[in-house]
């Protein structure tokens, strides 16, 4: 009897993608040890860019989003939903002072979560795009070990940021937990200790955000494009920032503004902001690093 075929639904596509990701991660786990080593390729060359290049990267990112917006929104809805769940958890377990650091700290790990979007843009550029399942193809990349290693570094910085934010609260308004969200907001904006907490938190958060921008602005796309190792990818990212301090500072402001705008409507705007920024990051990499 002839085999019966059917059109697979998103759950089946996702399950197949996850199975492939699991097999790929399992088979490449041993590569983490050498993830920081250069892999025998010539060091990438960076070029100088201008603000027009940033605008063009954003336009190209928006075009990628427009080409597969349903698929991308489906994937990126996971981020605001996860943010709301984490915020609710923080409220319920007396960690109210960490709600804002948790939400704002997403910028520190966003480059890792954007890898799937970079892969979608890369495949669309090559003319082999199929849909949202392309995001799972990252797990089959030869550089998956390096990508995971660099992702662990960002997760470590995220944990350090939460520790620093909690320490700032403890020194200023703590150590006791606030009695309510209203009381916490009132103390934060009407007391000298609260303003000290706000200013110190912004300053320390800026340092963390700057560090992540410098080390990851082109490193993840570079690892997808060429398996150069984490050390060389980060060095290239640093070189790109040094060669383009003005445009990279502007890019950091674009990311910060986008995340703020996306977070205002209960984080739901991130389902649109994140994919545009993610796709645009791939095109920015193409403009900064010589092919």
- What pLDDT score was predicted for residue 158? 92
Rounded to whole angstroms, the Cα distance separating 132 from 27 reads 23
10-residue stretch averages of pLDDT, the chain, 291 residues long: 41 44 44 61 88 96 79 59 65 71 83 86 82 70 87 93 93 86 88 94 94 95 90 94 96 90 74 87 95 78
State the pTM of this model: 0.80
- What pLDDT score was predicted for residue 22? 47
- What pLDDT score was predicted for residue 291? 78
């Amino acid at each position: 009897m002839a085999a019966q075929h059917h059109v697979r639904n998103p759950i089946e596509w996702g399950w197949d993608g996850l199975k492939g990701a699991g097999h790929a991660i399992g088979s490449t786990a041993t590569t983490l040890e050498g993830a920081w080593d250069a892999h025998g390729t010539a060091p990438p060359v960076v070029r100088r860019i201008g603000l027009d290049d940033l605008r063009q990267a954003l336009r190209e990112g928006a075009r990628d989003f427009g080409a597969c917006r349903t698929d991308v929104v489906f994937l990126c809805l996971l981020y605001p939903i996860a943010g709301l769940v984490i915020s609710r958890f923080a409220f319920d377990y007396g960690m109210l002072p960490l709600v804002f650091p948790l939400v704002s700290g997403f910028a520190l790990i966003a480059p890792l979560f954007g890898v799937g979007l970079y892969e979608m843009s890369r495949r669309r550029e090559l003319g082999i795009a199929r849909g949202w399942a392309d995001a799972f193809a990252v797990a089959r990349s030869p550089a998956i070990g390096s990508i995971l290693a660099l992702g662990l570094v960002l997760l470590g910085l995220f944990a350090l940021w939460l520790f620093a934010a909690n320490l700032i609260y403890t020194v200023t308004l703590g150590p006791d937990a606030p009695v309510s969200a209203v009381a916490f907001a009132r103390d934060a904006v009407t007391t000298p200790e609260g303003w000290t907490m706000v200013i110190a938190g912004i300053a320390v958060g800026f340092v963390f955000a700057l560090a992540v921008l410098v080390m990851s602005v082109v490193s993840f796309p570079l690892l997808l494009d060429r398996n150069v190792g984490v050390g060389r990818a980060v060095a290239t990212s640093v070189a790109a920032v040094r060669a383009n301090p003005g445009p990279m500072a502007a890019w950091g402001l674009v990311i910060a503004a986008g995340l703020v705008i996306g977070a205002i409507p209960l984080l739901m705007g991130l389902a649109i902001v994140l994919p545009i920024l993610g796709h645009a990051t791939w095109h920015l990499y193409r403009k900064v690093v010589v092919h």
